[in-house]
């Protein structure tokens, strides 16, 4: 089962533009008995036109695993010390360039952001609708 998702985007205002995108989604298995937050970390590479943000997937890691929490301090240590999966490198091995995407924002106001991945090889582009949870500090926005 896939639960709520959040995205946090932190972009510098300096040139060249740098920053991070962290995407978190709650997943559950075993009928909801085991849950974790799958966290994917990306680097912001550049701003692409007026509506695009080029990002590169770096890593993915399960966090806050309910199964590991049952192990007490040992589970906490395992959760914190386990290295993230190099999902960006793995995507590149499968298909060069596949770890980079351009996120095109087609609508954005104080509460809603509508984004699609700018994948020119597909005619059926995925559309993502994000509702703002809160404003962060500085240039950080949580959606």
- pLDDT (0 to 100) of residue 141: 45
pTM value surpassing 0.75? yes
Please, which residues have CB within 8 angstroms of residue 55's CB and are 6 or more apart in sequence? 21, 42, 43, 44, 45, 100, 101, 102, 103
- The stretch 6-12 carries a mean pLDDT of 84
Instruction: Tell me the pLDDT tens digit for each residue of 79-93.
Output: 778 888 999 999 999
Domains of the chain, by residue range, sit at 2-102
Given a cut of 50, is residue 2 above it in pLDDT?
A: yes
Given a cut of 60, is residue 44 above it in pLDDT?
A: yes
């Amino acid at each position: 089962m896939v639960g709520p998702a959040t995205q946090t985007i932190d972009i510098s205002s300096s040139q060249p533009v740098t920053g991070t995108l962290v995407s978190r989604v709650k997943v559950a298995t075993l009928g909801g008995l085991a849950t974790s937050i799958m966290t994917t970390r990306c680097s912001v590479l550049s701003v692409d036109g007026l509506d695009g943000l080029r990002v590169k997937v770096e890593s993915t890691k399960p966090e806050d695993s309910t199964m590991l929490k049952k192990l007490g301090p040992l589970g906490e240590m395992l959760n914190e010390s386990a290295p993230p999966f190099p999902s960006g490198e793995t995507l590149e091995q499968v298909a060069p360039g596949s770890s980079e995407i351009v996120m095109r924002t087609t609508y954005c106001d104080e509460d809603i952001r509508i984004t699609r991945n700018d994948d020119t090889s597909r005619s059926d582009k995925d559309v993502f609708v994000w509702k703002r949870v809160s404003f962060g500090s500085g240039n950080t926005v949580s959606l």
